[in-house]
Structure 1
Amino acid sequence: MQSTLLSAYGEARLPRYTSYPTAPLFSAAVDENVYAGWLSTLSPGEPVSLYLHVPFCRSMCWYCGCNTTISARDEPIASYLDVLRREIEMVASRIGRRQPVKHVHFGGGTPTIMKPAQFIALVHLLRDRFDIVDDAELAIEIDPRTITREMLAAMRGSGINRASLGVQTFDWKVQQSINRIQSLECTAETVAALRRVGIKRINFDLIYGLPNQTVQSCVETVTTALTMKPDRLAVFGYAHVPDVKKHQRLIDAKVLPDSATRVEQTVAIADALVAAGYRQIGLDCFALPNDELGVAQAARRLRRNFQGYTSDNCEALIGFGASAIGKTKSGYVQNEAVIGNYSTRISAGRLATARGYRLTTEDRGRAAIIERLMCDFEANLTEICARYGLDHAELTDGNERLSRAFDEGLAEMDGNILRVQSKHRFLVRVVAAAFDSYLERSPRTHSKAV
């Protein structure tokens, strides 16, 4: 029954629910003036999180779904960083004080494409304009193929205490198929170098569903990854959307695993990691029991944001850089995605906000249900509805997606608790989608359910 349902939903297009409502619902109705108002309402002592997007890489990985630009030269990167610094100063001035910060995440692209001195200066600016608390997590994404010894030293000297390494797969044939050749030695040397400079918390990103990938090669990649003992592993299903990401047309769709094989791959990866002592965190993350994610999950404090599963409990996330997404209690905002447009706005003294979404009370209630399902595989519908003043019956009565989930055994009601059956945890997005009132507007923009 489990494999039948997994296969049946394998082609379904559903959001990953790193936000609700999801980004396709953002519009220009939320602009720079709206965002400026939201920034001004942040409570003085309320910690926030910061995300900085550096949209540059040295080469294009054909599977990539990120907003990035290929640059062999350093000048465009330096120019972009100048604009990024101006944005940081502008946003900080709109807030009007050094807001406390608990989490900082450098993403991309390849944020370590910066020169060490540029990175040090950027972190110094953040510390000058914000109050980064002593126990804050400062995380950065790394391409092991391009990291340098000097950059590692700069990261450690700037307070970086978590590094996320793009691994994807160790299968050479698959690496050729996605234009990302990265040897085991390269990855292992980077892990060892990080630990030598004192950056002990290490994440790996793995992908299944890649061209020419097999169940066996997925398990072999996990086995190899475990020799380096990462604290966390994020395991994502490849989303093939060549109409949106033109470079994905370079991937031969004929050698992509079918839905049934994708199911086998994700199950095999999960089984191998759990057998090795990792806890499955939500849908697609695995962590050692003493890692912050494992602790947060055990305490029912796990959250979900644009970086995936997190122990970050800040209500506000401030995004910097082209295409960066942020959130306040009032709603979501996203910067201009095109670097030129982003730079033009900032250079003119304007916030880079291009679109966003103003949350309603109903949105917040639905978002709370979806987040708890995605994090805990259960949600107390009565408690959440009472908290947001929602009518329980209006959310559930006549809800065809939810009724189907009950009929197929994906979920059940236990008193006030809606619970996803543990054997069907890979289909949690199917149950969460039952509370998404906007889903039918843009189903093709989302990834496969498995």
Structure 2
Amino acid sequence: MADLLHARREPFVRHDQGVLDPNCHADTRKFHGGIGSLDVLRALRVSRQKCRPLSLNVQLPAGFRSDPHFQCLLREIDLLGCHLGAGQRVEQFHLGGGTPQAQPLQRLMAHLRNRFNFLGHECGDYSVDVDLHHTDWAMMGLLRDQGFNHVSIGVPDIGTDGERSATCYQNPAPIHSLIDAARTFGYRSVNVDLGYGHAWQTPHSFALKLAAIIELEPDRVQVFDYAQPPPRYRHGHHAADACSEDAKGAMRRISFEQLLAAGYQPIGLGQFVRPDDDLAIAQERGRLRRTCHGFTRHGYCDHVGFGPGAISQFDELYAQNTEDPEHYLQQLHSGQLAICRGWRCEAGDQVRQLVMERLACDLELDIRAIESRYGLIFRQYFAAAWQCLQQMSEDGLVELSERFISILPAGRLEVDAICRVFEQDVNPPGHSSSQELIDHDACL
């Protein structure tokens, strides 16, 4: 079978630590087996009734086989798609996991377009992850012809292959070639993913690699800790020896220093963009959002995931497919969805998530708006977090007032750590956990 994929005073918080999950809006540690297919089917019905826009995410793990696995993926698309309406626009689409071969790619996209309402030329954000070693100019052109307008290039891990791999890691030519192809074919943006924290890395080698990437002038750079990789790198990701925490912190500081010096803006969660990028403009206009698949310039969408390990989100419901390809295959063969776990985000968690999202996206939070919407007293509800914020205020990271929490210029490098203070559970005396849920069809 052919593979589809080619294969100062120290602040209160340790600011060299990122959030738990650099790209996921939900805390997957809370996922449990009590969420199943019936919950998703009910959510799909509500989504159709309200005609909400959609964000689709297809995950193709390395080694995914064309038969029968590919047929099961198409079957899952049909099982979910038949419960959604033709009027629901696909505003966002992401194809992750690596570069598919040409024929399966064309079949997959034709199947998706027959089932879903994709937007016209350049109206949606349609992105794809490409494998550096199995993508050439012809494939970049084909992907563009299929409607993709954003591309993400992963810097390969050295692994255990010795000097040859180390040379490959430092060689910028393959990345340069794909960036040139993306420019030629008119992609809206090019992102480069760069991990740090492996034992084979040093601050010096990391700085050299990052400097070489900056010279290529990608539109976006995603810097992530190998211990907390983005979801698109978790399938087939093998644990490796980590460097020291001091070295890891140095690499993270180097990324901020070099990228800021080159004119990139830190959006948060390790994402840096050029000032004219869609995400930077959305943040400046107060329209940036953070979803279960990262930052976006679009408003609320229902997120539908396909493939092993894919996550879907409908309002407060999160549902995840099994990550085991064989179990995924068995479920779809029997005509069942592959949902294995999930989480229903209750009111307290939704308030906390909204606070973290607005701080990460707007660099400012309107305290009174939160209090008015949920009938709470912010400083009491987030008493422990407020103490941490006061410490950060003394460190010059945030400014606190009766009305706003504002992240200062020095704090822009620490957005992740600032958001972390709201991650702890909150359940103040006398405040019911059955407070009003967030209405995603209304704006705060």
TM over 0.5: yes
Q: In structure 2, what is the equivalent of residue 303 of structure 1?
A: 289
Q: In structure 1, what is the equivalent of residue 387 of structure 2?
A: 403
What are the Cα deviations for residues 87-116 of structure 1, in whole angstroms up to 9, with x where unaligned? 1111011224352110100112x1x1x221
Q: CA deviation at 1:245?
A: 9.6
- SS of the aligned residue for 2:348 comes to helix
For 2:258 and 2:208, the matched residues in 1 are separated by: 10
Q: In structure 2, what is the equivalent of residue 265 of structure 1?
A: 251
Q: Does 1:116 align with 2:105?
A: no
Q: Does 1:36 align with 2:41?
A: yes
Is this contact kept in 2: 1:336–1:342, CA < 8 A? yes
- SS of the aligned residue for 1:95 comes to coil
Give 1:349's match in structure 2, choosing from 316, 321, 335. Answer: 335
Is this contact kept in 1: 2:316–2:350, CA < 8 A? no
Letter in 2 for 1:259: E
The alignment yields a C-alpha RMSD, in angstroms, of 3.1
Q: In structure 1, what is the equivalent of residue 436 of structure 2?
A: none
Is this contact kept in 1: 2:189–2:219, CA < 8 A? yes
Q: In structure 2, what is the equivalent of residue 430 of structure 1?
A: 417
Relative to 1, partners in 2 of residues 1:389 and 1:176: Cα closer, same or farther, differing over 3 Å? Answer: farther
Q: CA deviation at 1:55?
A: 0.7
Is this contact kept in 1: 2:192–2:218, CA < 8 A? yes
Q: In structure 1, what is the equivalent of residue 92 of structure 2?
A: 103
For 1:267 and 1:350, the matched residues in 2 are separated by: 47
Give 2:403's match in structure 1, choosing from 401, 405, 416. Answer: 416
Which protein, 1 or 2, shows the higher relative CO under an 8 Å CA cutoff with sep ≥ 6?
Answer: 1
Q: CA deviation at 1:9?
A: 5.3
User: TM (normalized to structure 2)?
Assistant: 0.82
Give 1:51's match in structure 2, choosing from 46, 50, 57. Answer: 57
Q: In structure 1, what is the equivalent of residue 31 of structure 2?
A: 26
Q: In structure 2, what is the equivalent of residue 138 of structure 1?
A: 126
For 1:145 and 1:246, the matched residues in 2 are separated by: 16
For 1:123 and 1:193, the matched residues in 2 are separated by: 21
- SS of the aligned residue for 1:36 comes to helix
Q: Does 1:327 align with 2:313?
A: yes
What are the Cα deviations for residues 262-320 of structure 1, in whole angstroms up to 9, with x where unaligned? 23322222222222222221241111111101101111222223333222323311111
Q: CA deviation at 1:219?
A: 2.8
For 1:20 and 1:138, the matched residues in 2 are separated by: 20
For 2:187 and 2:163, the matched residues in 1 are separated by: 27
Q: In structure 2, what is the equivalent of residue 442 of structure 1?
A: none
* Contiguous gaps of at least 5 residues in structure 2: 1-7, 427-444
Further displaced range: 385-394 or 261-270: 385-394
Give 1:159's match in structure 2, choosing from 115, 127, 147. Answer: 147
Q: CA deviation at 1:132?
A: 0.8
User: TM (normalized to structure 1)?
Assistant: 0.81
Is this contact kept in 2: 1:362–1:390, CA < 8 A? no
Relative to 1, partners in 2 of residues 1:316 and 1:240: Cα closer, same or farther, differing over 3 Å? Answer: closer
Identical pairs, percent:
26
For 2:257 and 2:408, the matched residues in 1 are separated by: 17
Give 2:345's match in structure 1, choosing from 359, 364, 374. Answer: 359
Aligned pair count reads: 409
For 1:424 and 1:106, the matched residues in 2 are separated by: 33
Q: Does 1:85 align with 2:74?
A: yes
Give 2:218's match in structure 1, choosing from 206, 230, 238. Answer: 230
- SS of the aligned residue for 1:5 comes to coil
Q: In structure 2, what is the equivalent of residue 63 of structure 1?
A: none
What are the Cα deviations for residues 240-280 of structure 1, in whole angstroms up to 9, with x where unaligned? 79xx999745x344xx1x33332332222222222222222
Relative to 1, partners in 2 of residues 1:191 and 1:335: Cα closer, same or farther, differing over 3 Å? Answer: same
Relative to 1, partners in 2 of residues 1:212 and 1:5: Cα closer, same or farther, differing over 3 Å? Answer: farther
Is this contact kept in 2: 1:231–1:291, CA < 8 A? yes
Q: CA deviation at 1:13?
A: 8.0
Relative to 1, partners in 2 of residues 1:224 and 1:433: Cα closer, same or farther, differing over 3 Å? Answer: closer
What are the Cα deviations for residues 377-420 of structure 1, in whole angstroms up to 9, with x where unaligned? 332222123223444244223x1x43134235354422221234
Q: In structure 1, what is the equivalent of residue 440 of structure 2?
A: none
* Contiguous gaps of at least 5 residues in structure 1: 57-70, 440-450
Letter in 1 for 2:402: G
What are the Cα deviations for residues 173-203 of structure 1, in whole angstroms up to 9, with x where unaligned? 9987889757322221222223333335211
